[in-house]
Amino acid sequence: MAGSERVLAQRAVAFAPEPASVRRARSAVSETLRAAGMDEDTVDTAALLVSELVTNAVVHARSEVGVTVTVAGPSVLVEVADHSPHLPVQRSYEDESATTGRGLGLVEVLATDSGVRQVEGHGKVVWFTLGPAGRFPGGLPAADGRADEASTGEGAEVPDLTVVLAELPVALYCTFQEHAAALLREYQLTVLDRGGPAGRAAADEAAAGGEALSLLSEASGEVFALRDTGRSAVDHSVPLPHAAVPRFAMLHHVLDEAVELAADGRLLAPPSQPEIRALRTWCLQEVLRQAEGASPIPWQLPDVRAVPTVRKRAEWDDSAVLASSQALVAADDANRILAVSEPAARLLGWEVADLVGQRLVCIIPPRLHELHIAGFVRFLLSGQRRILGKRVPLTALRHDGTEVEVYLTIEQQPAPPGRTVLVAAMEPIDPPV
């Protein structure tokens, strides 16, 4: 291409720093691209990415957000500007995670090109392109840094404290970080939507907590790299600036509030599980303790099997499970058993009435609790469907403490909006003769 493509459409819109601006920005970009004759795949991808970037700006910058979309030939350039000078940081979560502060990861995967530039005295601009590598008037924005780099400019805090998380459970810790990020993101949007001094104060607290979570995330790459290797635990060192320690207490407070909102169904993020809450409490207490000179205390999962489920029971028709001749167990997104067929109760050594209402971990051997919870919450966060419909071997725990080897096949069932119901069919691998 010898020169710049002819500009088919260009639109610049400013939005207030409020959650409703995410929907408005998405509509503005979609309308502009459709008017320029772009295909629906491009429209959908641009709308998704601009939604994520505007959400980041609303949550973190809390300033007016400017969105400019330019169509040049078959190529699209979208720029999202805010008044914060801090470059964004891409956390080390997997691309498949659907609700965990995923915006920059999605840009990295779906955009043709992307970057971020600082505008002296006016904040920054995060941009992405879609379609062929086009020639835009004036060229692509100059990049002061990639969207996955942290700002390390003058005044950046230098780590002067190393916290050791001893015997850190790999899978559970990765899921804790993803879930905390999802809760924090939803909580920030919720408190911003309240408006007024109280809403702004809560948003400030959440922002401080978010900085603490980012510090943990930036140090967690090696732990995430171990997630699918079978490594169960690791001694993990986290370098931190001592001045950031109070933010970890704030993170604990904010996540407590977010957990309550999620339990009430007022956040899109799934409700927390006792194992995740216990790990979060331990992690953040270790930061606070070791900042005062205390020695590390290794992680040990407390017995939380009997912790009651707070979230309201999912309304769901259990008649098919109750009447089934198969060994079926149904559970909701709170990890609570909704229904059990008589063959399943016999297989597990329980009475049907006694098993219903229990947490699923009551039929999981203790040594597998952490992996089960990590996988369960990861499923709810990412929406991944790879485990559904597959017949896999699993060890189940019977009421008398003995174990039974079964093949497990999980299917997702229709459920009320915002809820998830799973039904597992169990077949003994070595049925009694």
pLDDT tens digits along 265-291: 888 888 889 999 999 999 999 999 999
Quote the pLDDT of residue 88.
63
**Residues 33 and 46: beta-carbon distance below 8 Å:** yes
5-18: average pLDDT: 77
The answer to whether residue 411 is domain-embedded is: yes
Q: Token pair 């996988």 is at which residue? A: 375
Same domain, 186 and 256: yes
Please tell me whether residues 13 and 99 are part of one structural domain: yes
367 and 250 in a common domain: no
Examine the domain organization and report whether 196 and 124 are in the same domain. no
The pair of structure tokens assigned to 328 is 């079926």
CB 240 within 8 A of CB 162: yes
Does one domain contain both 330 and 419?
yes
Residue pLDDT, tens place only, 96-143: 443 334 566 678 778 888 888 877 767 888 889 998 876 666 666 655
178 part of a folded domain: yes
Task: Measure CA of the first residue to CA of the last residue in the chain; give whole Å.
Answer: 75
Q: Note whether residue 298 is domain-resident.
A: no
User: Does any domain span residue 147?
Assistant: no
Residues 343 and 387 in one domain: yes
Give the domain-ending residue among 291, 311, 341.
291
Same domain, 342 and 256: no
Is residue 167 domain-shared with residue 277, that is, in the same domain?
A: yes
Higher pLDDT, 300 or 311: 300
pLDDT score of 152 more than 60: no
* Same domain flag for 99 and 50: yes
| Residue 138 located in a structural domain | no
Structural domain ending residue among the three candidates 130, 151, 181: 130
Q: Rounded to two decimals, what is the model's pTM? A: 0.74
Query: Residue 341's pLDDT is what?
Result: 97
**In which band, very low, low, confident or very high, does the pLDDT at 5 lie, cut at 50, 70 and 90?**
low
Angle between helices 170-194 and 369-382 (to 10 degrees): 40
Ranked by mean pLDDT, which of 99-113, 200-214, 338-352, 417-431 comes out on top?
338-352
Q: What is the DSSP letter of 358?
A: S
Q: Are residues 183 and 257 in the same domain?
A: yes
**Domain span holding position 336:** 319-428
Note the pLDDT of residue 103: 60
Distance, CA of 246 to CA of 251 (rounded, Å): 9
Could you tell me if 95 and 211 lie in one domain? no
Assess whether 178 and 238 both reside in one domain: yes
Residue 420 in any domain: the answer is: yes
Domain CATH for 96:
3.30.565.10
Tell me the average pLDDT across 362-390: 85
146 assigned to some structural domain: no
The total domain count for the chain is 3
Q: What are the tens digits of pLDDT across the range 156-200? A: 567 889 999 999 999 999 999 999 988 988 888 888 777 778 877
Q: Domain holding 385: CATH number?
A: 3.30.450.20
Mean pLDDT is highest, among 130-134, 240-244, 376-380, for 240-244
Q: Which helix (H) or strand (E) holds 332?
A: strand 327-332
414 in a structural domain: yes
Find the mean pLDDT for residues 74-100.
66
**With the C-alpha atoms ordered 121, 127, 133, 136, is the resulting torsion angle positive or negative?**
negative
Which range among 130-134, 142-146, 405-409, 426-430 shows the weakest confidence by mean pLDDT? 142-146
CA distance 213 to 174: 12
